[in-house]
Structure 1
Amino acid sequence: MADNRVVEGRMVTPKKLAERIEGDSIMDAEGIEDANFDCPDCGENVLAVGYMPSVTSFYTGYKCQECPWSDIEE
Structure 2
Amino acid sequence: MSNRVVQGRMVTPGTLAELIEGSPVLETEDITDADRPCPECDGDVIEVGYMPSVTEFVTGYKCQDCDWSDDDRE
Q: Quick check: TM above 0.5?
A: yes
The Cα of 1:14 is off from its aligned counterpart by 0.4
The Cα of 1:63 is off from its aligned counterpart by 0.1
The Cα of 1:4 is off from its aligned counterpart by 0.1
Richer in strand (by share): 1
The Cα of 1:35 is off from its aligned counterpart by 0.4
| Counterpart mapping for 1:1-74 below 5 A | 2-74=1-73
Question: 1 CA distance for matches of 2:70 and 2:8?
Answer: 19
- Matched residues, percent identical? 59
Structure 1 runs (4+) deviating above 2 angstroms are none
Q: Structure 1: where are the runs of 5+ without partners?
A: none
- CA deviation map 1:47-71 (0-9, x unaligned): 0000000000000000000000000
1:55 is aligned with what amino acid? Answer: V
Which TM-score applies when normalising by structure 1? 0.97
The Cα of 1:21 is off from its aligned counterpart by 0.2
The Cα of 1:33 is off from its aligned counterpart by 0.4
**Equivalenced residues, count:** 73
Q: Structure 2: where are the runs of 5+ without partners?
A: none
